[in-house]
Amino acid sequence: MQRPTHYRSGVGIVLFNPNGLIFAGRRLDNRPPPWQMPQGGLDDRESLHQAALREMREEIGTDRAEILAVTPDWHRYDYPDIDSTKRARLYRGQQHRWLLLRYTGQDDHIRVETAKPEFSQWRWMPPQELARQVVAFKRPVYQAVFREFAPLITQSLSSGGRLPPRQPMAAHPLI
């Protein structure tokens, strides 16, 4: 069987709390390592913002968050094995535009026991730990996205949740 050549498009969600920790969900399938951030496909004529908030509701039971930024470029990863999943037989991999969201709810608003659960549990993690706990083929994307968003997380935390007018993103020593 020949490997597919195109990528499934979607959104990835970097949701951070007032302590600068990132939301991590433990995958139901428990493939090691089992932790990841919410992500999902784009529906027809759906904006990135709409898709991110929909995915939050579907995967973590809430959309209590403020969207602060979107990566300007797509971040891609390839599936490591064409026979690993049904999706791997249809797509070479996935490409996401990642959104940075500041969580505005309380921890008890998060409910991973949704209509179609994807996570068995969740917790807040430092970015470095989450990058180590994600499946290896996604790790370079996580590291790149964390580097891209680290300055904005830092700015948001130091300004009480507000961001100054849009500035170019620079590398940051968090990762």
- pLDDT digits 0-9 by tens, 6-39: 999 999 999 999 999 999 999 998 778 889 999 9
State the pTM of this model: 0.88
Residue showing tokens 């969600």 = 13
Beta-bridge mates of residue 103? 65
What's the chain's length in residues? Answer: 175
* Cα 32 from Cα 41, distance rounded (Å): 23
> Which of 162, 148, 169, 136 is closest to 34 using CA atoms?
136
Say which residues have a Cβ less than 8 Å from residue 31's Cβ, sequence separation at least 6: 135
Quick one: tokens of 159? 């300004």
Say yes or no to pLDDT of 139 above 60. yes
Residue showing tokens 């507000």 = 162
Quick one: tokens of 161? 């949740």
All structural domains of the chain, each given as residue ranges with its CATH number in brackets, are: 7-158 (3.90.79.10)
Residues 156-173 have pLDDT tens digits of 999 876 665 554 444 333
Q: Which amino acid is at 60?
A: I
